[in-house]
């Protein structure tokens, strides 16, 4: 099971955190600090796994961002690398060649996509197309709801004239 997902920039700034096991706010800050110290200092050619407090952290760097997932000792580390890549590819499809700024300004979208990919620390959907389709469908639901409210306000405004 994945205990948490972290996105950390090369400068150590947190871009996304998702916790599937309970960690208090204090513990979260501590975990992030510890892990960024561990991971950001590792050289480029080393393996993508770090042992940490009896768990494993699998990380992968994409441009300036480190995608980290923390798993149990007996989980498949290589598969987690695939899941990270899977997530990145979906982000890429959704934003159209994603960059760090996309994730900063649209962090909620990144979370929505992650929620279509993982629940309870387990993989939910192996098909990228399905994930993008589901997110897009929900986005359009939001759009129509917005249009409705704005048209209602227009009607009220006109009636008030």
Partner 1 sequence: MNPFSSGTCLRDMIRAIRACKTAAEERAVVRKECAAIRASINEDDQDYRHRNLAKLMFIQMLGYPTHFGQMECLKLIASAGFPEKRIGYLGLMLLLDEREEVLMLVTNSLKQDLNHSNQYIVGLALCALGNICSAEMARDLAPEVERLLQFRDPNIRKKAALCSIRIIKKVPALAENFINCAASLLKEKHHGVLITGVQLCADLCKVSSEALEYFRKKCTEGLVRTLRDIVNSPYSPEYDISGVTDPYLHIRLLKLLRILGQGDADASDRMTDILAQVATKTESNKNAGNAILYECVETIMSIEDDGGLRVLAINILGKFLSNRDNNIRYVALNMLMRATTLGAQAVQRHRATILDCVKDSDASIRKRALDLLYLLVNDNNVKPLIKELIEYLEVSDQEFKGDLTAKICSLVEKFSSEKIWYIDQMLKVLSEAGNFVKDEVWHALIVVISNASDLHGYTVRALYRAFLTSTEQETLVRVAVWCIGEYGDMLVNNVGMLDIEDPITVTECDAVDAVEVAIKRHTSDLTTKAMALIALLKLSSRFPSYSERIKGIIVQNKGNVVLELQQRSIEFNRILQKHPKFRSALVERMPVLDEATFSGRRAGSLPTAISTSSGAPSNLPNGIAKPATAPIPDLLDLSSDDVPAPSFSGGDFLQDLLGVDLSPTPAPSGADMPPKASTDVLLDLLSIGMPLPVQTGLSASDILSSSQDDKAPFVNFNGLASLSSLSANATSPANAAPMMDLLDGRGPGPQKSEENDQAYPSLVAYESSSLRVMFNFSKQRGSPQTTLIQATFTNLSSNVYNDFLFQAAVPKFLQLHLDPASSNTLPASGDGSITQNLKVTNSQHGKKSLVMRVRIAYKTNNKDVLEERQINNFPQNL
Q: How far apart are alpha carbons 116 and 19 in whole angstroms?
A: 15
**Shortest distance, CB of residue 155 to partner 1, whole angstroms?**
17
Q: Decide: helix, strand or coil at residue 90.
A: helix
Residue 51 phi, psi (nearest 5): -90, 135
Q: Considering the complex, state which of residue 34 and residue 82 has its C-beta at the smaller distance from partner 1.
A: 82
Residue located via tokens 């979906």: 90
Can you give the binding site for partner 1, defined by CB under 8 A?
14-20, 22-25, 29, 32, 43, 45-51, 76-79, 81-83, 86, 104-105, 107-108, 111-112, 115, 119-120, 122-130, 134, 137-138, 141-142, 145-146
**Shortest distance, CB of residue 83 to partner 1, whole angstroms?**
8
Under a CB-based contact definition with an 8 Å cutoff, are residues 2 and 69 in contact? yes
Name 94's Cβ contacts closer than 8 Å, sequence gap at least 6. Answer: 109, 113, 132, 135
**Shortest distance, CB of residue 111 to partner 1, whole angstroms?**
6
**Shortest distance, CB of residue 102 to partner 1, whole angstroms?**
12
């Amino acid at each position: 099971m994945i205990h948490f997902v972290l996105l950390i920039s090369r400068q150590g700034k947190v871009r996304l955190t998702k916790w599937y096991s309970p960690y208090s706010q204090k513990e979260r800050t501590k975990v992030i600090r510890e892990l960024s110290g561990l991971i950001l200092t590792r050289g480029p050619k080393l393996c993508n796994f770090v042992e940490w407090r009896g768990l494993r952290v699998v990380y992968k760097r994409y441009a300036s961002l480190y995608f980290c997932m923390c798993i149990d000792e007996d989980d498949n580390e290589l598969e987690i690398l695939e899941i990270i890549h899977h997530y990145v590819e979906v982000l890429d499809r959704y934003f159209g060649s994603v960059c760090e700024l996309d994730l900063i300004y649209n962090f909620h979208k990144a979370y929505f996509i992650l929620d279509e990919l993982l629940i309870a620390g387990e993989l939910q959907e192996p098909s990228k197309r399905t994930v993008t389709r589901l997110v897009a469908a929900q986005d359009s639901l939001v759009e129509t709801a917005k249009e409705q409210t704005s048209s209602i306000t227009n009607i009220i405004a006109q009636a008030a004239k």
